[in-house]
A and B are shown apart, each in its own frame.
Chain A
Amino acid sequence: DTGVSQDPRHKITKRGQNVTFRCDPISEHNRLYWYRQTLGQGPEFLTYFQNEAQLEKSRLLSDRFSAERPKGSFSTLEIQRTEQGDSAMYLCARGQGTNTGELFFGEGSRLTVL
């Protein structure tokens, strides 16, 4: 158990629809991350929260993507007007230890855009 729950585990949607993914760390952790992983590639950083503050965003995060962590606990990642290129595994992770590289990952939410 990684202490990170993600929902839904798999989402199939049509191009142009909006989707939202949720990440629940088992207990409140200061650091929460979103990554995206496409087939055959390593995970790519999307965004980082320190408590409720979104401190860093990747250039991969276009205007169609938005992430929130309203109370510093759970987080949501919304993709508007989905495109086929958005098909990927979306991973949430919480920080462990004091180094930014030590992460507990959830099992991910797989998005398929038809």
Chain B
Amino acid sequence: AQSVSQHNHHVILSEAASLELGCNYSYGGTVNLFWYVQYPGQHLQLLLKYFSGDPLVKGIKGFEAEFIKSKFSFNLRKPSVQWSDTAEYYCAVTTNAGNMLTFGGGTRLMVKP
């Protein structure tokens, strides 16, 4: 079965700092990769997704993620964070073996104004 690890549990940044959140998955076959975000008091929503093709994908609000197959990684990046990016970020994966989306434990990002 697949699993997802997010090594940074809590990240605190100042506005305008660059962001990189780590995500590693374990699965030997083809995967689809996702980042979901949950802003305070709101529902989980899709930030970006990777299915195939260009390993660098761009999502909403200036976020991007890079799939590195050899490292089983799908790190999330943003060049300059804003206070409004304060949220919980979840990396997730699906495989061709089932219908479930498997989430990592999440990273809580706090951006100081």
A105 adjacent to B43 (CB under 8 Å): yes
A40 to B49, CA, bound (A): 23
Contact in complex: B106, A103 (CB < 8 Å): no
Q: A55-B99, A101-B94, A105-B44 are in contact. Are A41 and B106 (CB under 8 A)?
A: yes
Nearest CB of A to B7, in Å = 13
* Contacts known (A48-B100, A58-B100); A101 close to B93, Cβ less than 8 A: yes
Task: Place the interface of chain B in its size category.
Answer: 20 to 34
Question: In chain A, what residue has the closest Cβ to B98?
Answer: A56
- Known pairs A43-B103, A58-B100; A103 contacts B46 (CB<8 A): yes
Q: Is the pair B101, A101 in contact by a Cβ cutoff of 8 Å?
A: yes
**Cβ-based interface call for A45 (8 A):** yes
Chain A interface residue count: which class?
A: 20 to 34
Residues from chain B with a CB closer than 8 A to the CB of A40 are: 105-106
| Interface residues of B, Cβ cutoff 8 Å to A | 4, 6, 32, 34, 42-46, 49, 51, 90, 92-94, 98-106
Spell out A's residues near B (CB within 8 Å). 2, 31, 33, 40-45, 48, 55-56, 58, 91, 93, 99-108
